[in-house]
Amino acid sequence: DQQVKQNSPSLSVQEGRISILNCDYTNSMFDYFLWYKKYPAEGPTFLISISSIKDKNEDGRFTVFLNKSAKHLSLHIVPSQPGDSAVYFCAASPSSGTYKYIFGTGTRLKVLA
């Protein structure tokens, strides 16, 4: 049972344009959401996070939006740069009872110069 889903395995975007990566979840107990970026032969690195008390969090070129009623979050990258080409994972965790994280399957972003 995949509790966190990233339905787009890949995405190509022109440099300078907006990249939108989507993530859906099924467990209503999830209250914390994080996005990670992964380059080949490296471990994932943290990008941005959001808790369920917010619907938006912004950090430079990266903005995460959370729609709790739809159990959907998205990561916007504006403007996209070739160095953003990587695999992006969303991860979720409930607010209590565990410090366990559930990751999605990832979306490979390619930013074309």
Nearer to another protein, 29 or 78 (CB): 29
Q: Look-up: residue for tokens 């943290």?
A: 46
Q: Which of 57, 67, 12 is nearest to 34 (CA)?
A: 57
Smallest separation (angstroms) from another protein to the CB of 81: 21
Q: Which residues pair with 51 in a beta bridge?
A: 32
User: Footprint of another protein on residues 25-64 (CB under 8 A)?
Assistant: 31-32, 34, 36, 41-46, 49, 51
Smallest separation (angstroms) from another protein to the CB of 87: 9
Smallest separation (angstroms) from another protein to the CB of 43: 3
Size of the site for another protein (CB under 8 A): 29
Binding part of the chain for another protein, among 11-19, 63-71, 72-80, 103-111 by CB under 8 A, reads 103-111
Q: Look-up: residue for tokens 């471990």?
A: 43
User: How many other β-carbons are positioned within 10 Å of the β-carbon of residue 59?
Assistant: 10
In the chain, at which residue ranges do the beta strands (DSSP E only) sit? 4-5, 10-14, 19-25, 30-38, 45-51, 56-59, 62-67, 72-77, 86-94, 102-103, 107-112
Residues forming the site for another protein (CB under 8 A): 4, 6, 9, 31-32, 34, 36, 41-46, 49, 51, 89, 91, 93-95, 98-106
